[in-house]
């Protein structure tokens, strides 16, 4: 991940000098890979690095987001996304941001993203396969932000 990461679009929140939240973003790598013609040899790797530093890429993906359970329900998640998005917009490099996957079982996160003035551009479905067919299938419960531990 080191060759594709950009430190200024990775955010952490600390409370009493302890990390309590993180939001990791990556540039949209297909904006670079489309110029490599399906190959990734030495020349393509060098071209990739050149494109990463000098090429144009206006889209990023939010790939990992999380808050430690003790800090959930306290507004840390909203602060992290709001301040991170504000920083990204201020840099004026990325015009399009996409948080890659938010489960339908997490209405709090969906409402935070909508509060940023965004829209749902696609719906991803996660399937579960039970290898032991004797066990009952149980859908993941909807997260109730009112009942999170404080």
Domain presence at residue 62: yes
Domain presence at residue 96: yes
Better-predicted residue by pLDDT, 97 or 140 = 97
Residue burial 49-77, b: 16+ Cβ < 10 Å; e: rest: eebbeeeebeebbbeebebeeebbbeebb
Domain presence at residue 136: yes
Domain presence at residue 1: no
The predicted-structure confidence for 121-133, as pLDDT tens digits, reads as follows 776 677 778 888 8
Domain presence at residue 2: no
The predicted-structure confidence for 20-79, as pLDDT tens digits, reads as follows 999 999 999 888 889 998 898 999 999 998 998 888 888 888 888 889 989 988 889 888
Range of the structural domain that residue 41 is part of: 7-147
Domain presence at residue 45: yes
pLDDT of residue 24: 92
CATH number at residue 59: 3.40.630
For the chain, the domain total comes to 1
Task: Judge whether 91 and 129 are in contact, CB under 8 Å.
Answer: no
Average confidence score pLDDT of the chain: 83
């Amino acid at each position: 991940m080191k060759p594709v990461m950009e430190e200024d679009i990775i955010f952490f929140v600390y409370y009493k000098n302890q990390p309590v939240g993180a939001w990791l973003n990556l540039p949209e790598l297909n904006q670079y890979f489309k110029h490599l013609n399906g190959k990734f040899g030495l020349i393509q790797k060098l071209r990739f690095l050149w494109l990463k530093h000098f090429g144009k890429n206006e889209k990023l993906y939010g790939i990992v987001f999380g808050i430690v359970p003790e800090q959930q329900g306290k507004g840390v998640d909203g602060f992290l996304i709001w301040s991170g998005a504000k920083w990204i917009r201020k840099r004026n490099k990325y015009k399009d941001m996409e948080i890659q996957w938010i489960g339908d079982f997490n209405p709090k996160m969906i409402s935070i993203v909508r509060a940023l003035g965004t829209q749902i551009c696609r719906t991803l479905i996660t399937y579960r396969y039970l290898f032991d067919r004797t066990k009952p299938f149980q859908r993941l419960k909807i997260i109730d932000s009112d009942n999170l531990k404080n």
